[in-house]
Structure 1
Amino acid sequence: MSSDFEGYEQDFAVLTAEITNKIARVPRLPPDEKKQMVANVEKQLEEAKELLEQMDLEVREIPPQSRGMYSNRMRSYKQEMGKLETDFKRSRIAYSDEVRNELLGDDGNSSENQLIKLREERAHLLDNTERLERSSRRLEAGYQIAVETEQIGQEMLENLSHDREKIQRARERLRETDANLGKSSRVLTGMLRR
C-alpha cells in the first residue's frame, strides 16, 4: 500500500515542480504563449488535485496506528497545493495587467519604463517566492522526518520496555529456580548423611 502512496508522492513532486516553473514563466512570455501556458498550468493543477485525491484515498486504507505519518504528509501536500494556486492567481493577475496595458495602448515612454520596471520587480518577487517555497518544502520535509523519527524512537522505547520486563521475569524465575535447587541440594545432602 505505502508503495502506491510513494508513487503518487513522486508524481506529485514532479508535477508541482513543473507547475512552479511554468507559473514563474507566465508573466514573462509573449501574449499568445501566455494564454497557452495559463491553460496548460490550469490542466496540470487539475491533475495535481486528482493525485491528492488518490493519495487521500490511499491514506484512508492505512490501518489507524500507521496513518499518522501519512496524514501529516497529506497536510503538507495540501498546503503546497494551496500555495501553488495562490501563486498561479498572482501570475495571472500580472498576465492580465499586461494584457490590459496592451489593450489600452499605453505606449508612452515613461509608462513603458514603468511597465518594464514592474515586470522586473514581479519577476524578482516570483523568484523570491519560489525560493521561499523551496525552503518551506525543505523545512516541511525535515519536520516530517523528525516526526517519523520520533514515532520510530517511541516504538523502539516501547519494545525495549517490553524486553526489559521479559528479562526481569526471566531473572525472577532463575532466582526461584536457584533457590529451589539450593533447597533440593540441602535436602539431598541431609538424606545422604543419614
Structure 2
Amino acid sequence: MSAELEGYEQDYAVLTAEITGRIGKVPRLVGDEKKLMILNVEKQLDEARELLEQMDLEVREIPVQSRSMYSNRMRSYKQEMSKLDTDFKRSRIAYSDEVRNELLGDDGNSSESQRAHLLDNTERLERSSRRLQAGYQVAVETEQIGQGILENLSQDREKIQRARERLRETDTNLGKSSRVLTGMLRRIIQNRVLVVILGIFIVFTIIMAIYFSIRRH
C-alpha cells in the first residue's frame, strides 16, 4: 500500500470521528451556536468527501490482481460516509426536549405531523442517495474491469507481435535452408550426369579397343 493512501486513511479516520461527535451535539444547540456547528460539520463533510476521492484515485493505481482488498475498504468508507450524511440530516431537524418545549410550548402535537413529514422526506432523500451511490460504485467497478481487460489485451497484443517476429525469422531461415538444399541437389545431379557420361565414354573406349584388336587378328 502506498504511503499516500495510508496517510489519507488516517486523516479520514480522525476526521470522521470529529464529524460524528459534532453531529451528536447539533440537536442540543440553538440559534447562532447551532448554525455555526452546522457550518463546521458541512465543511468537514466536504473534506471527508475529498479524502475519499483521493483514496479512490490511489486505489485505481494499484495492480488489478491485488486491488480487491482495497476496493472493499473503499466500499466500507463510502458506506460510512453515507451514514454520516444521513445522521447529519436527521440531526438538523431533531430537537432536544428542552429546545422543543421552548419552540412549541406545552402543546407539541401540531408539529408532530410536520416533523414526521420532514423525516419522510429525509428517508426519500436517503434512498435516492443510496441509489446514486450504488450507481457510482457500479461505474467504478466497471471502469476497473475495463482497465483489467485493456491490460490483458495489451499483453496479448505483445505476445502476438512476438510470435509474428519469430514466424518471420523462421520463414527467413527456411528460405535460406531451401536455397542451400537446392544448390546441393543441383550439384549432386550435375555430378551424377558427369559420372554417367564418363562411364559411357569408358565403355565406348573398351568396345573400340576390342573391335580394333579383333580386326588386327
> Aligned residue for 1:156?
152
Is 1:118 paired with 2:114? yes
Counterpart amino acid of 1:95? Answer: A
Identical pairs, percent: 19
Number of equivalences: 171
1:166 maps to 2:159 = no
**1:148 offset after TM fit, Å?**
0.6
Greater C-alpha radius of gyration: 2
CA distance in 1, matches of 2:151, 2:161: 15
1:139 correspondence with 2:135: yes
What residue ranges of structure 2 are gaps of 5+ in the alignment? 29-36, 192-217
Q: Which runs of 5+ in 1 are unaligned?
A: 32-38
Report whether the alignment pairs 1:66 with 2:61: yes
Q: Distance in 2 between matches of 1:177 and 1:2?
A: 49
Q: Give the number of the structure with larger relative contact order, counting CA–CA contacts within 8 Å between residues 6 or more apart.
A: 1
Task: Report deviation, 1:84.
Answer: 4.2
1:114 Cα deviation after fit = 2.9
Give the stretch that moved more between structures: 158-167 or 128-137: 128-137
Say what the alpha-carbon RMSD is for the aligned residues. Answer: 5.3
Which stretch of the first structure deviates more once superposed, 48-57 or 136-145?
Answer: 48-57
Deviation at 1:26, TM superposition (A): 9.7
Residue 176 in 1 paired to residue 175 in 2? no
> Matched residues in 2 for 1:137 and 1:58: separation?
14
Alignment of 1:90-129 (within 5 A): 90-96=89-95, 100-108=99-107, 112-129=108-125
The verdict on how the C-alpha distance between 1:58 and 1:101 changes in structure 2, with shifts beyond 3 A counting, is closer
CA distance in 2, matches of 1:132, 1:58: 22
Deviation of 1:190 (Å)? 1.7
Q: For residues 91 and 102 of structure 1, do their structure 2 counterparts lie closer, same or farther at Cα, with a shift above 3 Å needed?
A: same
Runs of 4+ in 1 over 6 A off after TM superposition: 45-48
